């Protein structure tokens, strides 16, 4: 993958899966450097894509670009220093590294061109808005001419530029808070901001006063007293908080201009949330009395522990558990009977070993809240969500199955008419989800199941994102299932409902051809195909298919969101056209 002969005649070889190798030509001995789990001074990833030598103050360094960030290898101490997203590298797949005459490093990735200053570990990022041929580049497709000009090659041509002639904005941008919303409505505010305990959904808008390229200004925010670290907001200019405990906080925002120069001080807004009445002295006296009652009750519970445990094994609230029918990463699903109505239900329980993590509890609660507000023949119905002790549960409609994944495995490839029938049902359910401003984010055949009437129901909204949801995951976390997710989900970019349209395109391709459109020998190879590969058109795999399938699938699987269908209804119209032409009948 990469080769470098340094000033001392030593050869450095980067491999696709076996890390970095050093060849001493004097005695033909190899030294291998690989990723060591738990050792932050080892190589960050065993896929090495690019190499560059640099000398500073008489010390030799080898810069190593991997599939997971940039590394500086100190030849003398034999240690690596990792540079990744925390230092400002917005994409970790480093395809090439070039050093200019001022000692700056120029990197190409899947998210554009980046100038890295080794002296202060800062980045300046360049995109198509600066003239790049594309945001994606190719491995080792970079060089520097004798006159100092650089050439970098990507998926849509190449760029030529002189590093010393690119202007840099060295003025930190002033940062201001431009608006405040309470329950998603504009509200009057002043510093310090004081809110009642029940005013628990509020939003801030902010801006950096740097105007050469305002769309590239970046932001980070932090609620001191709640957030432990800064939260990278990218180019998004607003944030929402929900259900903060009463107390004293400080909301802070910092920003950078389009060349990556940050105003670290930013702006501060003091925030006070007043406590509710039940935190009064009389309330605390009542709590003491309740604790005494609980103590006496606890003594009784200990004396009757065996009978209580036996009862808990059989029942949860008014549900009698019959058998386990499924399990996911977050929850276990049981077939149960509602003793109030004698109805069979699917009872979803948050796993006990995960219930202590507030993040998992919020995700589970979010799924129940989203499902309770939806009613559609192609979405799983929710009857109730609740909590008994530390156990959280969601009671849902029981579906006999199978899942679409199992049905497809047993019958692939599906007849064209059956694909149209099933695709329409998925699109109808998905359209309602999107109409309610909800993004599923984990749409796949394993999360779609047949009901008793042989109709499909979309389920498993554990990763769904709606306008009601607070921020539930750290920046950079992959939300979804690799192979079905859109490129922007992998790169942690801002996403909208078109990620579901991309996932639907994967499902459609799989139903038509019997296989997934993207594949690879390992995770990194699969990610590479999702970003760069064009799937084989379905009609080339199945010549009996209608020729319009190729265009439908290609538009769903477009790399750029703006090139995909805007709404599920548009896809359904194109499917109806195929149905009419095949059957000479009006679409249903």
Q: Reduced to 3 states, what is the DSSP secondary structure of residue 22?
A: strand
Q: Could you count the other beta carbons within 10 Å of the beta carbon of residue 485?
A: 24
Which candidate, 213, 71, 210, 191, places its Cα nearest to that of 128?
213
Is the distance from CB of 126 to CB of 132 less than 8 angstroms?
A: yes
CA distance 480 to 486: 9
DSSP 130: G
Asked if 442 is an active-site residue, the reply is yes
Please give the biggest Cα pair distance in the chain. Answer: 86
DSSP 190: -
Is the distance from CB of 475 to CB of 239 less than 8 angstroms?
A: no
Is the distance from CB of 130 to CB of 166 less than 8 angstroms?
A: no
Task: Collect all residues with Cβ–Cβ distance below 8 Å to 394 and sequence separation of at least 6.
Answer: 347, 348, 364, 367, 368, 371, 382, 384, 385
Is the distance from CB of 419 to CB of 445 less than 8 angstroms?
A: no
CA distance 539 to 77: 57
Residue 314 burial by CB count (10 A; 0-12/13-18/19+): exposed, middle or buried? Answer: exposed
CA distance 283 to 287: 6
Residue of 68, 232, 259, 442 marked active site: 442
Is the distance from CB of 258 to CB of 212 less than 8 angstroms?
A: yes
Residue 390 burial by CB count (10 A; 0-12/13-18/19+): exposed, middle or buried? Answer: exposed
User: Which stretch of DSSP H or E encloses residue 72?
Assistant: strand 69-74
Is the distance from CB of 2 to CB of 13 less than 8 angstroms?
A: yes
Q: Reduced to 3 states, what is the DSSP secondary structure of residue 459?
A: coil
Q: Report the catalytic residues.
A: 442
């Amino acid at each position: 993958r990469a080769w470098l002969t340094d000033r001392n005649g030593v050869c450095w070889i980067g491999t696709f899966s076996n890390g970095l190798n050093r060849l001493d030509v004097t005695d033909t001995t190899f030294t291998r450097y690989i990723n060591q789990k738990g050792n932050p001074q080892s190589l960050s990833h065993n896929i090495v894509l690019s190499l560059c030598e640099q000398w500073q103050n008489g010390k030799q360094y080898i810069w190593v670009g991997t599939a997971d960030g940039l590394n500086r290898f100190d030849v003398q101490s034999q240690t690596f220093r990792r540079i990744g997203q925390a230092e400002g590298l917005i994409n970790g797949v480093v395809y090439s590294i070039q050093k200019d005459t001022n000692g700056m490093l120029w990197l190409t990735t899947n998210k554009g061109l980046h100038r890295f200053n080794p002296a202060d570990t800062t980045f300046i990022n360049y995109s198509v808005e600066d003239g790049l041929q594309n945001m994606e580049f190719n491995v080792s497709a970079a060089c520097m001419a004798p006159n100092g000009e650089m050439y970098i090659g990507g998926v849509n041509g190449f760029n030529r530029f002189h590093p010393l002639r690119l202007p840099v904005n060295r003025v930190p941008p002033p940062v201001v808070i431009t608006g405040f919303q309470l329950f998603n409505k504009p509200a009057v505010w002043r510093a310090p901001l004081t809110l009642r305990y029940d005013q628990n959904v509020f939003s801030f808008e902010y801006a950096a006063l740097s105007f050469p390229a305002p769309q590239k200004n970046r932001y980070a925010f932090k609620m001191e007293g709640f957030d432990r670290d800064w939260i990278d907001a990218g180019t998004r200019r607003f944030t929402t908080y929900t259900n903060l405990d009463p107390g004293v906080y400080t909301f802070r925002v910092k920003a950078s201009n389009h060349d990556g120069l940050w105003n670290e001080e930013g702006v501060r807004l003091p925030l006070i949330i007043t406590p509710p009445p039940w935190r009064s002295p009389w309330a605390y006296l009542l709590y003491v009395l309740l604790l005494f009652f609980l103590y006496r009750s606890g003594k009784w519970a200990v004396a009757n522990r065996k009978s209580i445990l036996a009862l808990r094994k059989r029942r949860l609230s008014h549900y009698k558990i019959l058998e386990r029918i499924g399990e996911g990463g977050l929850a276990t699903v049981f077939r149960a009977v509602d003793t109030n109505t004698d109805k069979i239900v699917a009872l979803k329980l948050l796993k006990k070993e995960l219930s202590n993590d507030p993040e998992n509890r919020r995700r589970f609660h979010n799924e129940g809240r989203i499902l309770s507000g939806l009613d559609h023949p192609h979405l799983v119905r929710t009857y109730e969500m609740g909590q008994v002790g530390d156990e959280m549960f969601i009671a849902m409609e029981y579906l006999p199955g199978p899942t679409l994944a199992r049905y497809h495995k047993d019958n692939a490839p599906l007849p064209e008419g059956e694909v149209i029938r099933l695709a329409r049902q998925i699109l109808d359910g998905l359209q309602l989800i999107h109409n309610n401003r909800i993004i599923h984010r984990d749409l796949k055949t394993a999360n779609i199941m047949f009901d008793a009437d042989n109709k499909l129901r979309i389920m498993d909204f554990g990763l769904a994102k709606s306008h009601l949801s607070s921020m539930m995951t750290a920046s950079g976390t992959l939300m979804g299932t690799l192979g079905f997710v859109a490129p922007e989900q992998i790169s942690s970019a801002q996403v909208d409902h078109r990620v579901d349209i991309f996932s639907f395109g994967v499902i459609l391709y799989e139903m038509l051809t019997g296989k997934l459109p993207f594949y690879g020998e390992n995770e990194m190879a699969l990610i590479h195909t999702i970003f760069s590969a064009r799937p084989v058109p379905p009609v080339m795999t199945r010549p009996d298919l209608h020729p319009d399938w190729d265009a439908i699938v290609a538009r769903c699987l477009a790399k750029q969101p703006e090139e995909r269908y805007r709404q599920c209804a548009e896809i359904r119209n194109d499917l109806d056209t195929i149905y009419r032409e095949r059957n000479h009948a009006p679409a249903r």
